[in-house]
Amino acid sequence: MDFSNKVKSVLTKLINLVNTPIFINILTVGGITFFVKLLGFYKETLVVSTFGLSSFLDAFLLAVLIPTFIQTVFIGALRNIFIPNYITELKTTNKKSEFQSMGFIMVLGIVSILTIFAIIFSLYFLEMTFPGRDDTFYELIRKQLYVVLPCILFWGLSSILGGLLEVANKYFFSTISASFMAVSTIICLLFFSDVFGELVLALGLLIGSFCSFLYLLIVNLHFGLLSIHKPQKNDNVKAMMKQLPPKISSGLLTGLNTYVDQFFAAQLAIGSIAAVNYGIKIPSFLVSILMIAIGNVLLPHFARIINDNLQLAYKQLFKILKIVFFLGLGVGAIGFLFSEEIIFYLFERKEFTSEDTVVVAKVQQIILIYLPFYLCTLVMVKFLTSYNKNVFMAWASFFNLILNFVLNMILIKKFGLYGLVMSTTFVYVLNSFIYFTYTYKTYRKNVVNSIDV
C-alpha cells in the first residue's frame, strides 16, 4: 500500500469514528466538561489568591474531606451500579418506576447513616485524627462541616437524577449540572465574602449543590424521565443490592487513600494539605475532562453491549485503552516539562508566592507521571463495573491502601511532602498493571478460550 492509500485509509477510519454515536456523545460531554472545569479553575485561582496556602484553607479542605469522601465512595458506588442494572431493568421487566424508587430509598438510607457518622467523627475524633493544631482550627473545621453536610443529600439525589439522564442519552443536561457549584462559590467570593465571613466557601458549596439538584429535578420532569412508584424487589433490584457491598468496599478502600494522604500531610508543615491539593489541580483537570467524557458514556454503553456481544465489548475496550494511554502520556509529558510555568500563570498572585509556586510545581510533576496509567485504570473500572467484577476491585483497592500507607511511612521520612506524592504515583502505576492483567485474563478465559472450544 503506497503513502496516499495509507493516508486515505487513516482518514476513512477517522471519519467513521467521528460519525459513531459513542464518539459524538464523548465529544459532547468532553466539550461541556471542559467549560465546566474552566469555571472550576477560575474558582480555584480566586480561592488561592484570596487565602494562599493558609491555615483557613487547610481547615476548609479538611471540613469537606468526609462529605466528598462519602460522595465519591458511597454515592458514587450506588450510581455506578444503578446505571447498568437500570438498563437491564428497562430491557427485561421494565418496571422503571419501582426501580427508581428503590434507588432513591437506598440513597436516603446511605445519606442518613453517613451524615450521623460525620457528625460523630467531628465531635469526638477530629483532634485525634489531625493532631497538633489549636482549638480555633478545629472549631473552624466543625463550623464549615456542619454547613456542608446537607450537600451530601443533594449529591445523592443528583447522582440518581443524573444517571437517568445519561441512560436516556441526555448527556448535555447531566454534564452541565456540575457548573452550579463553581458559579455559586465564585459569586459568594466576589460579592458576599464580608457577609459570609469564614463560612464563605462552605456556603458557596451548599448553595451550588442545592441549585444543581433543583436543575436536575426540573430537567428530568421536563423529559418525563422521573417516575416514582411503590418500590418492589425483583431480580434486577436484587442484583443491584448484591453488587453494592463489593462496589462500596472497592470505593471505600480507594477513597481511604486520599484520607491517608491527608492524614500524613496534616503532620507536615502548615500549608502541606493545600500544596498537595493545588499540585493535583492540573492532573485532576485533565483526568476529570477525559473521564467524565469517556466514563459517563462508556458505563451505559458497555452495560448495553456486554451481554449481547462480549467479544465486541473487549475489542472496544482494548482499542479505547490504547487511545487513552497515548493521549494521557502526551498531555502528561507537556505538563511535566512546563509545570512551573503553568503554576505561575494560574496561581501566583497575592498570597500565593513564588516559593509556593516551586513547591506546588514539583508536586504536580510527580503526580503527572501516573496520568496515563490512572486514566487507563478508570476506563477498566467502568468496564469491570458493567461486567459486575466488583469483588476483584475491592481486593485490588485493599492492596493499594496497604501499599500506600507503607510507602507513605517510608518515603515521607526521606522526602517529606514529595515522598507523599511519590507514594501515590507508585501505587497508581502498579494498580494499572494489576487491573490490565486481570482484565486480559478474563478476556482469555471468557472470549478466547470459548472461541477455541
Which of 62-66, 296-300, 307-311, 372-376 comes out lowest in average pLDDT? 296-300
Query: pLDDT tens across 272-297, in order?
Result: 666 776 677 777 767 767 666 666 66
pLDDT number for residue 445 = 83
Q: How confident is the model at residue 235 (pLDDT cuts 50, 70, 90)?
A: confident
Query: What are the CA-CA distances from residue 185 to residues 44, 193, 213, 268 (Å)?
Result: 10, 10, 16, 28
Smallest Cα–Cα separation from 67: which of 174, 148, 141? 148
Angle between helices 150-167 and 281-305 (to 10 degrees): 50
Best mean pLDDT range from 200-209, 289-298, 442-451: 200-209
Query: pLDDT tens across 390-421, in order?
Result: 788 888 888 888 898 888 888 888 887 788 88
What mean pLDDT is predicted for residues 242-256?
76
Q: How far apart are CA 157 and CA 445, in angstroms?
A: 39
Query: What are the CA-CA distances from residue 350 to residues 48, 49, 68, 199, 364 (Å)?
Result: 9, 5, 28, 21, 21
Q: How far apart are CA 93 and CA 182, in angstroms?
A: 40
221, pLDDT greater than 90: yes
Best mean pLDDT range from 30-44, 154-168, 278-292: 154-168
Q: How far apart are CA 51 and CA 421, in angstroms?
A: 23
What mean pLDDT is predicted for residues 324-332?
86
Q: How many residues are listed for the chain in this entry?
A: 453
pLDDT number for residue 359 = 78
- The answer to whether residues 332 and 296 touch, using CB atoms and an 8 Å cutoff, is no
Q: How confident is the model at residue 10 (pLDDT cuts 50, 70, 90)?
A: very low
Q: How far apart are CA 431 and CA 399, in angstroms?
A: 9
Q: How far apart are CA 102 and CA 262, in angstroms?
A: 35
Smallest Cα–Cα separation from 99: which of 224, 221, 232? 232
Please, which residues have CB within 8 angstroms of residue 446's CB and are 6 or more apart in sequence? 310
Query: What are the CA-CA distances from residue 251 to residues 36, 78, 80, 127, 396 (Å)?
Result: 25, 10, 11, 25, 11
pLDDT number for residue 19 = 52
| Helix H or strand E segment including 429 | helix 417-443
Indicate left, alpha or beta for 348 from its phi (over 0: left) and psi (-120 to 50: alpha). Answer: beta
369, pLDDT greater than 50: yes
Q: Among all chains, which residue has been given the C-alpha cell 478502600?
A: 253
Burial of 308 (0-12, 13-18, 19+ CB in 10 A): exposed
**pLDDT greater at residue 254 or residue 322:** 322
Q: What percent of the chain stands above pLDDT 90?
A: 18
What mean pLDDT is predicted for residues 255-276?
67
**pLDDT greater at residue 19 or residue 61:** 61
Best mean pLDDT range from 176-190, 275-289, 315-329: 176-190
Q: Across the chain, how many H-helices and E-strands are there? A: 23, 0
pLDDT number for residue 217 = 95
All 3 cell numbers of residue 130? Answer: 489531625
**pLDDT greater at residue 182 or residue 412:** 182
Print burial letters for 326-360: b (CB count within 10 Å at least 16), e (below 16): eebeebbeebbeebbebbbebbbeeebeeebbebb
Helix ranges (H only) for 125-234 are 126-129, 135-148, 150-167, 171-176, 179-191, 193-196, 200-223
Indicate left, alpha or beta for 224 from its phi (over 0: left) and psi (-120 to 50: alpha). Answer: left
All 3 cell numbers of residue 389? Answer: 467484577
Q: How far apart are CA 170 and CA 337, in angstroms?
A: 38
pLDDT number for residue 432 = 92
Q: How far apart are CA 405 and CA 164, in angstroms?
A: 37
Q: How far apart are CA 63 and CA 144, in angstroms?
A: 6
366, pLDDT greater than 50: yes
| Helix H or strand E segment including 271 | none
Give the Cβ contact number of residue 64 at 10 Å: 19
pLDDT number for residue 60 = 86
pLDDT number for residue 115 = 93
Query: pLDDT tens across 79-106, in order?
Result: 888 888 888 888 788 888 888 899 899 9
Smallest Cα–Cα separation from 422: which of 406, 446, 437? 406
Query: pLDDT tens across 112-138, in order?
Result: 999 999 999 888 888 887 787 778 888
31, pLDDT greater than 80: no
Query: What are the CA-CA distances from residue 365 to residues 53, 212, 335 (Å)?
Result: 19, 33, 7
Report the mean per-residue pLDDT for the chain. Answer: 81
Please, which residues have CB within 8 angstroms of residue 67's CB and are 6 or more apart in sequence? 118, 145, 148, 149, 151, 152, 155
Query: What are the CA-CA distances from residue 1 to residues 13, 294, 299 (Å)?
Result: 16, 33, 38
pLDDT number for residue 453 = 44
**pLDDT greater at residue 104 or residue 250:** 104
